[in-house]
Amino acid sequence: MQDNTTPLSFTPVKIGPILLRNRFIKSATNEGMAKKAIVSKGLAQFHERIAAGGAALSTVAYCATSPDGRTFVDQAVLDDASAADFRALTDGVHKHGAAASAQITHAGSFTFLDHATLRTSRPLSSSGGFNKVGVMSRRWLKKKMTVTDMEAMTAEFVGAAVRAREAGFDAVELHMGHGYLLSQFLSRIYNKRWDAYGGSIEKRLKFPREVLGRVLDAVGKDVAVVVKYSMTDGDKGNSIEDGVAIARAIAADGAHLAVLSNGLNVESITAMFGSSFPQSNRGTVNNPIIALGMWIQSLSEPKNVVFRENYLRELALRVRASTDMPLAYLGGIQSIEGVEQAIADGFDCVALGRALVHDPGFVNKLKSGEVRKSACTACNRCVTMMYTPGGTSCVEGKPGDAKLNTIRAGAAA
């Protein structure tokens, strides 16, 4: 029975086959706590803190479909070797009454892995030719995927989703945004094909929809199948009309929830974060390839983007008006007013990144009334913390424990 005294944001919601205890989702924030692909105690504790802090669903960022699917070496892979450690992580989240989601990702050409680490000489993508990200890792060319490559890739996504279910995850989130492989098919900036998989948005959707359909068939009865995608590519590339078409297509396919992000890692990072990036950072980036990449990127980034709460509201409302499927509002949720606005706008859930990096206990504090607004300043300095031994943390708090990030989550205490 509905408790009329509880604000809607703190009431349960059904997402596909699972019931979330409230509307708060911790969005994926590349934790940098899977050093050399080890799912560590540091990573498990990070998500346990989010669960203990009141969120209903904690998303484990970047669980790669295969070792080649990583952007960085320090990212987890959903393979047999990580199963017991992922199980320890999901057990820790469940202990606090929350659910866990695995963000399943393949980088495509957005990878900094070098020749020695990657099995394929050219990173895969929707289209071949010059690979701007590969300038740093000296992998200058990318490979246009063939239909056979796509079939193999679909099987990788399905295999990863099945392993996630076996490891106790309640949801899987297919990463179709930000410029990773599936986004490289959706985005008109990357997809230059003129076959059945490129051209109109309907054709650019074909491969990501094949992956979604097969993942839904394989695990959709047991776990929630979530799609995170970019509503636009920023100023150039996909427009909000493309973003609406994507929502309609994945709704027709039966996706259980869409998390509405924006922008691309390389071309439009401020469209994703709604605020500029600082030139200096407390975090030291040890990897010279990544450091060079960040410097090159910073040259073209707008320097004066001023953060405002719910900065993606206008775009997300366009998507909300176009479909009945469950949607999570994402982007600049920082206060109880921001949460209530999103729920009043008709979104089923809210997804929070930085506010929960700043304080994993934020949801419980909002609920009790202890705080009404996060003290996160949207400075984005936590983003480069992922490259440090301690992993992602707010620069205003305590850094992560570097040692814990090297110990398997499933190892005896």
Q: Which residues are catalytic?
A: 180
- Could you tell me the smallest distance in angstroms from the CB atom of residue 376 to ligand SF4? 3
**Alpha-carbon distances of 317 from 9, 293, 325, 365, rounded to whole Å:** 18, 34, 13, 27
Instruction: Rule CB under 6 A: choose which of 133, 247, 330, 363 binds ligand FMN.
Output: 330
28 binds ligand FMN (CB under 6 A): yes
Instruction: Rule CB under 6 A: choose which of 70, 228, 256, 313 binds ligand FMN.
Output: 228
Q: Which is nearer to ligand SF4, 207 or 273 (CB)?
A: 273
332 binds ligand FMN (CB under 6 A): yes
- Could you tell me the smallest distance in angstroms from the CB atom of residue 193 to ligand SF4? 37
The whole-angstrom separation of Cα 338 and Cα 352 is: 11
List the beta strands (DSSP E) in 270-347.
327-330
Per CB under 6 A, the segment of 92-100, 154-162, 258-266, 370-378 that binds ligand SF4 is: 370-378
The interface with ligand FMN within residues 135-194 (CB under 6 A) comprises 175, 178
Q: Which is nearer to ligand FMN, 75 or 143 (CB)?
A: 75
- Could you tell me the smallest distance in angstroms from the CB atom of residue 310 to ligand FMN? 9
β-pairing, 327-330 vs 349-352, is parallel
Positive or negative, the CA dihedral 102, 248, 233, 282 is negative
- Could you tell me the smallest distance in angstroms from the CB atom of residue 360 to ligand SF4? 11
The site partner of 396 among ligand SF4, ligand FMN, none (C-beta below 5 to 8 Å per kind) is: ligand SF4
Instruction: Rule CB under 6 A: choose which of 9, 27, 109, 281 binds ligand FMN.
Output: 27
331 binds ligand FMN (CB under 6 A): yes
- Could you tell me the smallest distance in angstroms from the CB atom of residue 300 to ligand SF4? 21
**Alpha-carbon distances of 124 from 62, 134, 190, rounded to whole Å:** 17, 12, 12
Q: Which is nearer to ligand FMN, 192 or 377 (CB)?
A: 377
Tell me the residue type at 406: T
Could you tell me if 175 and 226 are in contact, meaning their C-beta atoms sit under 8 angstroms apart?
Answer: no
Per CB under 6 A, the segment of 49-57, 120-128, 210-218, 347-355 that binds ligand FMN is: 347-355
49 binds ligand SF4 (CB under 6 A): no
Q: What is the DSSP string of 193-235?
A: --STTSSSHHHHTHHHHHHHHHHHHHHTTTSEEEEEEES--SS
Q: Residue 317: enclosing H or E segment and its boundaries?
A: helix 313-320
Strand partners, 25: 57, 351
Closest of 243, 254, 396, 221 to residue 330, by C-alpha = 243
Could you tell me if 53 and 361 are in contact, meaning their C-beta atoms sit under 8 angstroms apart?
Answer: yes
62 binds ligand FMN (CB under 6 A): yes
Q: Which is nearer to ligand SF4, 212 or 355 (CB)?
A: 355
The whole-angstrom separation of Cα 230 and Cα 272 is: 8
384 binds ligand SF4 (CB under 6 A): no
SS3 content of the chain, % helix, strand, coil (to 5): 35, 15, 45
- Could you tell me the smallest distance in angstroms from the CB atom of residue 358 to ligand SF4? 4
The whole-angstrom separation of Cα 381 and Cα 400 is: 14
Instruction: Rule CB under 6 A: choose which of 342, 351, 376, 409 binds ligand SF4.
Output: 376
The interface with ligand FMN within residues 269-288 (CB under 6 A) comprises 273
- Using DSSP's 3-state secondary structure scheme, residue 151 falls into helix
The interface with ligand SF4 within residues 345-364 (CB under 6 A) comprises 354, 357-358
Q: What is the DSSP string of 26-85?
A: E--------GGG--BHHHHHHHHHHHHTT-SEEEEEEEESSGGG-SSSSSEE-SGGGHHH
**Site residues (vs ligand SF4, CB under 6 A):** 354, 357-358, 376-382, 394-396
**Site residues (vs ligand FMN, CB under 6 A):** 27-30, 61-62, 103, 175, 178, 228, 261, 273, 330-333, 352-355, 357, 382-383, 386, 392
